[in-house]
Amino acid sequence: MTDMNLVRSPARSRVGLAEAVVDLSVVRDNVQTIYKRLRPGTEVLAVVKADAFGHGAVQVARAAVEAGATWLGVARADEALQLRAAGLTVPILTWLYDATELVLLADIDVSVSTVSELNQVVSAPNVHNVQLKLDTGLHRGGSAPDQWIELTRAAAHYEALGAVRVRGIWSHLSHGDELDASHSRRQLELLRTGVTLARRAGLSPEVVHLANSSGAITLDAPDCNLVRIGAALFGIDEVDAGVRSPMRLVTKVAQVRRIRAGEGVSYGHDYTAPRDTTIALIPLGYADGIPRIAAGQASVLCRGVRMPVLGRITMDQFVVDAGELALEPGQPVTVFGDGSDGEPTAADWADWAGTIPHEIYCGLGARVPRRYVEGVQR
């Protein structure tokens, strides 16, 4: 069985066609960067859902906790259980689960948005920690404001009976990635009111949280003592927070050939060479998370040169234009990284694909192994 905790030696030669190299020291730096921007006493919940945006949930969670994160957050029950099985003991919040999974979540905080959900939690074996979620404007989940009093009173009743423990109250920003925090401030006011009503019902939440990575920087929320950072862990910097990308997607040239002017490249010959040129085959495709729609705009870095993608990106491979540069099979290629060597970034690929960096990272396929390092590796 593969050791999921292994940080391989920087001297290890690359094996296979491609790999995603994740620098865990950058993850730690990103946590510390956010901490420096917070009010003293504010805690950090590291969001490691979706296998930590494709970076590796257990490895990233450990790095974040080592850097001072005191909570972890995931979307689904099985993600929480994976972290517990790996030996992570900090509090974990999950917000999507089935009632049948509650029996497994005795030491996991579960989000509750309705009295019906609360009743399911109470009916499950063991006493559960719950966090009540209030919908302050995202309208994607959480208690409707007109049902909040009923939910908080029911929660206080069950807590008095010893059936649950209400550990937190939270909500989610709808415009958290905007520098203008006016909408976020309105949501904060609604959350403030919700917390006041919860306290009147007899609840005493340990944590109150609203801000995501960007909101942690743009929203001054003295009422909240926890922020949730997901994007910032992975260098997705929407508000100039100063975080860096920990991942480099690297591969190597598979084949090299010359083509003549007028010859087409890849399926359908969407691209026809206007001149004689050298082309190189890159052994990654949309099955590995390379967005097909980026063809015609995307490029990769090889020998210090940006090489444009020619023709269609296919399931397992794509072609780039090397011009007159001398290439050989096996030469290293960087598909994306932090940009420090002139390579494209995940944000560049997101722009080319008309999406967001989150989707680029999450789309990275299982055929691409992750390698974990400490310090910059090239």
Count Cα atoms within 13 angstroms, Cβ side, for 353: 21
286 an active-site residue? no
Find out whether 62 is annotated in a ligand binding site. Answer: no
Q: Which amino acid is at 287?
A: A
Query: Which one from 97, 252, 267, 286 is the annotated catalytic residue?
Result: 267
Sheet strand arrangement including 305-310: 255-259, 277-282, 318-323, 305-310, 299-302, 332-336, 247-252, 18-23, 370-373
Query: Which one from 35, 49, 133, 372 is the annotated catalytic residue?
Result: 49
Find out whether 307 is annotated in a ligand binding site. Answer: no
Interhelix angle 57-66/24-35, nearest 10 degrees: 50
Give the closest residue to 322 by CA, choosing from 288, 275, 378, 285: 275
Q: Show the CA angle centred on residue 154, arms to residues 150 and 159, nearest 5°.
A: 150
35 an active-site residue? no
156, containing H or E segment: helix 145-160
CB of 284 closer than 8 Å to CB of 316: yes
> How many angstroms separate the CA atoms of 152 and 133, rounded?
10
Strand partners of residue 96: 76
> How many angstroms separate the CA atoms of 131 and 114, rounded?
11
Residues making up the annotated binding site are 140, 315
Residues making up the annotated binding site for substrate are 140, 315
Which active-site residues does the annotation give?
A: 49, 267
